[in-house]
Chains A and B, each alone.
Chain A
Amino acid sequence: MISGTYVAGNSCIHKADPRFKFVLLLLWVVFLILPVRIYALAGYYAGLVLLISVGLSFRQVFQPLITIWPILLLVALLTPPFHQSGRVLYQFSGLFSFTIGGVREAIVLILRFSGITSAFFLFFRTTTIDDFILTLRWFGLPYSGALIITIAFRYIPSLLQLYRNIQDAHALRRPAPSGKRRFHPIKKFTHIFPTLVSVMIHSIKSIPTLSMALESRGFGRFNARTSYRALLPIKKVIHQGAYSTIVLFFLVLFLFI
């Protein structure tokens, strides 16, 4: 979600009505969770790759995967030893083995994680937070609930920016690379802690300031609140419902693969 903050664009996915996009997002996630065959999962993921390529760019397909690579790596390494069905592919000194069934299970989990992350990434990259909140309110979420989400989402990009700034500030204090450039996963991992501590200190310090900012913008007044932005009447975007139904048809079709 952090990497999937909105970036303005003119693609058909940017222009699509957020209500239809939201419903499709939820359905897509449900289909990814269903106990379907590996080919169907691959199809759902391929569909997302196609949509990301159309709505953003092909390079963006890898963006959500970069953010969850440690999870994907752990899944790839730790899942096969716990699923020993099928032909043995490799045996580790008699302790455990990699089997066809184990590898298949790892691929299923990787497709699910990648698919769910990519679906949320595509939704939030092409939908403004304001439109998302209006969508939630259209579906009946009360204003107070929507405000909590607004503030939380407002802080996702803000925290992202803060994280990047702090990361940069820390990177500048490190020494010059000596000799060949090597990838040190442990060193990279330990460098995360100072950054996270700084982000945490900042976030805690900003609590009273955020309250001040909210009240100095009139939050908590007794009068009824109005809204600047509004979604189009549903009858004006009904044609998008037809497109969404076509997408839904393909999602269902993959269930039978």
Chain B
Amino acid sequence: MKTFIQTTNLAFTYPAYSAAEVSTGALFNDLNYTVCEGEFHTIIGAPESGKTTLSRILSGLVPRYTGGDLEGTVEILGRDISDTRPQDLIETVGTIFQNPDDQILTTRVDSEIAYPLESLGFARHIIEERVDRELLRFELKDKADRNPASLSGGEKKRLLCAVLAAIAPPIWILDETLDEMDPHWRTILFEYLTEQNSTVILFSSKMPTPLPLTGPEPSVEPSVVPAAPAGGETPAQSTSAGSRQAAILSRGQLHTDEAEIEKIAEREGLRWKPSFTKDKPLGDRTNPPLLKAEGLSFSYEESADFSLQVDQIELFAGETVTLAGPNGCGKTTLAKILCGLYTPLSGGIQLPQVQQGNASPELLRSSAAYMFQNPDYQIFLPSIEEELAYGLKEEGRPHGEIRSLVQRAIDTFQLPSGDTSPTLLSYGTRKRLQAATYWLLQRPLCIFDETDSGISPKDFAALIRAFQSPRRTLLIISHDAELAQHYSDRLLHMKNGLLLPHTPAASTTQEPPASETQARGGRK
């Protein structure tokens, strides 16, 4: 079989920056890796292990824009990529970035799919044909004239898949692409890639559960993929087309041995484990709910095809609830209504501290913590200490109390010293800093909106444990069935803007039976 990607003695070091928290030593050392035609590789690694850097090196984007020293060679279809510009590789290698907002360039869904085809100089009728085909395949036809910024996280990832499918490169590099995508779309994506016999490298910070693929092979089947000289035969090359390989990226090396993958995944906490969870349920549903919402309805001005209708939702102190459902079903919208960021068109939310009537948006906002997926939304002060103290100062707490609370947060969330600049922290540490700011404010309702994306299960578990309290409700938005199973007392399921009947967490399935949806009238 033909060798598609080959790295030989690859080493990479980012430019040194003395103030950075993260060591700027070599990210990879003598990395030798081979990917053959039609293979499906999953590369697992903890945050900051270099997955994104490796994915961008393989696309020719690093060190072109980041600087740094790259040693060794990277060959794509026998072509050294150091001599090739990224724009000349787009018909060979397609990359989907971890954050879809980083990659969207236009203001219409159909134009986004058309953009690279225009760059390639295709005739208009071919572009139209391909855009239509991919809009249909990824069920974006009714959103063709929408601004991609108005799509949900999972829909944006679908759009980026549609962009690549329109170009149809033989090699797909997917950087945490499964995060935020619901299981149905993961299946469709894998079926498409299998059908196309695409060569795929999927990067993930979690050990995957069995992938929803049909066929005889197990989803994750680690095997030895030793390095080989360019063009040489390797054991991996003798495997059949479409075979699946796994590797784990740790301390600058890719490990492909099954036992070693398991050992490293265990050490670095890359697999959901029941032991991460709390010992006993904290939820007490005998007391009045911590939050009760009734008759909520909401729609977006810019999106006529979506409306949210929630008859009733109750959240009780001490419980951990997972809110699941397909992409674009309204999970984030509902969460933003519950914490007062969106005002519902009808209905209201009651809190125990409001004796009569509904709580005001200001009161809801000050009662909730909303963990944005991107921690940088909240980071703006020059030091960790100031960042943590900001909310407490706004509350008018005494200076001495603020200092002791800030130190407690630094210790609890394992943050670097208080005078460190937050912008120089690693992604995982910034997430911990974001969580620490809310932890200090002691909000009774904490919403984790796909917070597990991009961090390891172990790190996510640590965040959840820090927040769990008999006086607090945790609402986790996630597509991860394992997460829901291990952490939730209760699972709420949404579909087409409707909240479906309660499902116990133990019987977690990401897709409810069709009859449940139909029973509630389906899409509004």
Cβ contacts under 8 Å, A172 to chain B? 339, 341, 365, 368-370, 438
> Would you give the shortest CB distance from A81 to chain B, in whole angstroms?
37
Contact B360 A177 (CB under 8 A): yes
As a 0/1 sequence over residues 210 to 239 of chain A, the CB contacts with chain B under 8 angstroms (1 = contact) are 111111111111011111111000000000
Contact B111 A198 (CB under 8 A): no
Cβ of B378 within 8 Å of any chain A Cβ, yes or no, is yes
Contact B146 A157 (CB under 8 A): no
Contact A169 B106 (CB under 8 A): no
How many positions in chain B have a CB within 8 Å of any CB in the partner chain? 75
Contact A214 B105 (CB under 8 A): yes
Cβ contacts under 8 Å, B379 to chain A? 198, 201
Cβ contacts under 8 Å, A158 to chain B? 101, 104, 149
Chain A's closest residue to B302 (CB) is A7
Cβ of A166 within 8 Å of any chain B Cβ, yes or no, is yes
Contact B107 A226 (CB under 8 A): no
Give the contact stretch, choosing among B122-130, B179-187, B194-202, B316-324.
B122-130
Cβ contacts under 8 Å, A223 to chain B? 120-121
> Would you give the shortest CB distance from A42 to chain B, in whole angstroms?
29
Cβ contacts under 8 Å, A175 to chain B? 366, 391, 394-396
Contact B101 A173 (CB under 8 A): no
Cβ contacts under 8 Å, A168 to chain B? 336, 341, 370, 372, 377
Interface range for A: 35 or more
Contact B120 A220 (CB under 8 A): no
Contact B147 A228 (CB under 8 A): no
Q: Provide the bound-state CA to CA distance between A91 and B127, in Å.
A: 68
Which A158-191 residues have a C-beta within 8 angstroms of B? Answer: 158, 161-162, 165-166, 168-177, 181
Total contacts A to B, CB within 8 angstroms?
A: 185
Q: Provide the bound-state CA to CA distance between A174 and B438, in Å.
A: 11
Chain B's closest residue to A208 (CB) is B65
Cβ contacts under 8 Å, A228 to chain B? 110-111, 114, 117-118, 124, 127-128, 131
Cβ of A136 within 8 Å of any chain B Cβ, yes or no, is no
Cβ contacts under 8 Å, B120 to chain A? 218, 221, 223
> Would you give the shortest CB distance from A31 to chain B, in whole angstroms?
29
Chain A's closest residue to B93 (CB) is A216
Contact A198 B376 (CB under 8 A): yes
Q: Provide the bound-state CA to CA distance between A215 and B391, in Å.
A: 41
Cβ contacts under 8 Å, A252 to chain B? none
In the complex with contacts A221-B88, A228-B114, A228-B124, A154-B106 CB distance below 8 A: yes
In the complex with contacts A161-B149, A225-B118, A226-B118, A176-B380 CB distance below 8 A: no
Cβ of B367 within 8 Å of any chain A Cβ, yes or no, is yes
Cβ contacts under 8 Å, B441 to chain A? 173
Contact A157 B363 (CB under 8 A): no
Chain A's closest residue to B123 (CB) is A226
In the complex with contacts A218-B120, A228-B127, A228-B131, A174-B377 CB distance below 8 A: no
> Would you give the shortest CB distance from A232 to chain B, in whole angstroms?
14
Chain B's closest residue to A215 (CB) is B86
> Would you give the shortest CB distance from B523 to chain A, in whole angstroms?
19
Cβ of B115 within 8 Å of any chain A Cβ, yes or no, is yes
Cβ of A54 within 8 Å of any chain B Cβ, yes or no, is no
Chain B's closest residue to A200 (CB) is B380
> Would you give the shortest CB distance from A63 to chain B, in whole angstroms?
10
Q: Provide the bound-state CA to CA distance between A210 and B106, in Å.
A: 12
Cβ of A128 within 8 Å of any chain B Cβ, yes or no, is yes
Contact A6 B147 (CB under 8 A): yes
Contact A130 B106 (CB under 8 A): yes
Contact A225 B121 (CB under 8 A): yes
Cβ contacts under 8 Å, B168 to chain A? none
Cβ contacts under 8 Å, A166 to chain B? 377-378
Cβ contacts under 8 Å, A205 to chain B? 376
Contact A217 B366 (CB under 8 A): no
* 3 closest cross-chain pairs (CB), A and B: A218-B119, A228-B114, A176-B366
13 contacting pairs across A/B (C-beta < 8 A): A129-B107, A161-B149, A166-B378, A169-B378, A172-B370, A175-B391, A181-B360, A194-B390, A198-B379, A201-B379, A214-B105, A216-B61, A223-B120
Apart from A130-B108, A158-B149, what 11 extra A-B contacts exist at CB < 8 Å? A157-B147, A162-B377, A165-B377, A169-B372, A173-B391, A194-B380, A198-B379, A201-B380, A213-B103, A217-B115, A218-B120
